[in-house]
Amino acid sequence: MDFRKIGWIFFFTFLGLNIFLFSIYKKADDQENVVYRTDQKVPIEDRLDSEDITYSGDFSQKQHKGYYLSGDPTDMNQALDEERERLDDPDLLNEQTSTEGQTLTHNITDEKAITEPSQAADVLDQFLQQEDQVLFGEQYSYLKDVSSFSGDYPTLVAAQSYEGIPIDDSSSRIEIELSNQDDKLSFNNYTQTHISDLVPLREAISLYSEEEIINTLYVNNKIPNNSEIKWRHLAYTLTLQVRGQNVYVPAWFVAIEDEDGQTQVERVNALTNRIITNSTVQTVENS
């Protein structure tokens, strides 16, 4: 009997067994470490930094108050007629203006322009105060994050608001198209929608904070590695239409640019902390 050969067989058998047992131990040890790290309350900033996700400023822990809001889409043709009567000016916005249902379009004849983005808020506010140029102008304010000064279609955006929180929705805004002329951006034309009779449907409710919704987006894999959080803001968004009335809820809007330069705006319901980016507006018609 070749005892030396048998000895080598036992040696390699026990070596393989030890390697197998060590691999099981190592895997179990790694799993324990994962559980440990998951149980830790790691600040969202540290988690973003670890995946090369950049952002500016700090994430606020403030819990704002917000409402379920209801409002009526304004018939812009009727609104224009009423404003002409109120101001006793039958020629108000008479030239280069058209209305179609809830949308008014006007070619701007008054010379307005900005030479740099920092002027946008002031110049826009001055324009909105001109009763001969804009209906309900005092109800709108500059929506910086949604405005754009680059690309083929630079645009200034203004929105209505309720108790300091803007309505970031196409049903309630003024979009001013800009054109490049002699190193300045001139006001060209605008489209306008408007919501009348905004009222809360129930008492104010505490909202989830900015920090909480960033965490929600992160754990749901909505913020990819090597991306940048370009901006975020709290605003009302349209979620429901009931017999001609619009219903809005407060939501956090977060713009995320991936490493390929593509930007996606995520929406998180600030009342429930649920992601509603791809939710459609539900409609309830008359029965």
Quote the radius of gyration of the chain (alpha carbons, Å). Answer: 28
**Strand pairing report for 195-200 and 282-284:** unpaired
132 shares its domain with 225: no
Please report whether residue 178 resides in a domain.
yes
Q: Which of 211, 182, 164 is nearest to 48 (CA)?
A: 211
pLDDT at 265 over 90: yes
- One domain for residues 188 and 205: no
Instruction: Flag whether 276 is in a domain.
Output: yes
Domain for residue 225, yes or no?
Answer: yes
Quote the domain boundaries for residue 133: 74-197
pLDDT tens digits, one per residue of 213-264: 999 999 999 999 999 999 999 999 999 999 889 999 999 999 999 999 999 9
**Domain for residue 33, yes or no?**
no
Residue 150 has pLDDT above 90, yes or no: no
In the structure, what pLDDT confidence band is assigned to residue 111 with cuts at 50, 70 and 90? confident
The residue from 197, 215, 250 where one domain ends is 197
Residue 192 and residue 150 share a domain: yes
Split at pLDDT 50, 70, 90, the class of 284 is confident
Look at residue 33 and tell me whether its pLDDT is greater than 60.
no
Q: Which of 84, 142, 82, 92 is nearest to 117 (CA)?
A: 142
Answer yes or no: do 147 and 213 share one domain.
no
Whether residue 243 contacts residue 235, with contact meaning beta carbons closer than 8 Å, is answered with no
Query: Could you tell me if 92 and 186 lie in one domain?
Result: yes
Residues 132 and 144 in one domain: yes
CATH of the domain at 238: 2.40.128.690
pLDDT of residue 18: 43
The pTM of the full predicted model, rounded to 2 decimals, is 0.82
On whether both 133 and 218 belong to a single domain, the answer is no
